[in-house]
Amino acid sequence: MFYQVVSLVGASLILLAYGLNQRGRLTPDQVSYGLMNLIGSLLLLWVAVVDRQAGFVVVEAAWAAMSFIPLVRRRVSTPSGPSA
């Protein structure tokens, strides 16, 4: 039951990000979009690993990587503030 709830939360986050993007309320370049996809995919990845579902592990690991990389790039390219 616990893993079902975790997987539903993960799927909901990914679908919510997608739905908000489709409605024009969230764009892929926003941090919240990337975080929703990353957290959702990591939750689904965890459940897939626990259930030993190799195909889903591959899909969710790729989804997490594709969500994580833009977040890191954004962080690296964003100035940390005024230099002293």
Per-residue pLDDT reduced to its tens digit, 8-18: 999 999 999 99
- Domain enclosing residue 65, as ranges: 2-74
The answer, yes or no, to whether residue 40 has pLDDT greater than 90, is yes
- Identify the pLDDT of residue 82: 62
Q: Evaluate whether residue 6 is within a structural domain.
A: yes
Q: Evaluate whether residue 30 is within a structural domain.
A: yes
- The torsion angle over the Cα atoms of residues 4, 52, 55 and 3, rounded to 10 degrees, is 10
Least Cα distance to 63 among 1, 4, 13 occurs for 13
Q: Evaluate whether residue 83 is within a structural domain.
A: no
Q: Evaluate whether residue 79 is within a structural domain.
A: no
Look at the chain and report how many structural domains it folds into.
1
- Identify the pLDDT of residue 53: 94
The backbone torsions φ and ψ at residue 38, rounded to the nearest 5 degrees and listed phi first, read -65, -50
Least Cα distance to 28 among 62, 74, 59 occurs for 74
- Identify the pLDDT of residue 3: 94
Q: Evaluate whether residue 17 is within a structural domain.
A: yes
Q: Is 83 left (phi over 0), alpha (psi -120 to 50) or beta?
A: beta
pTM score: 0.82
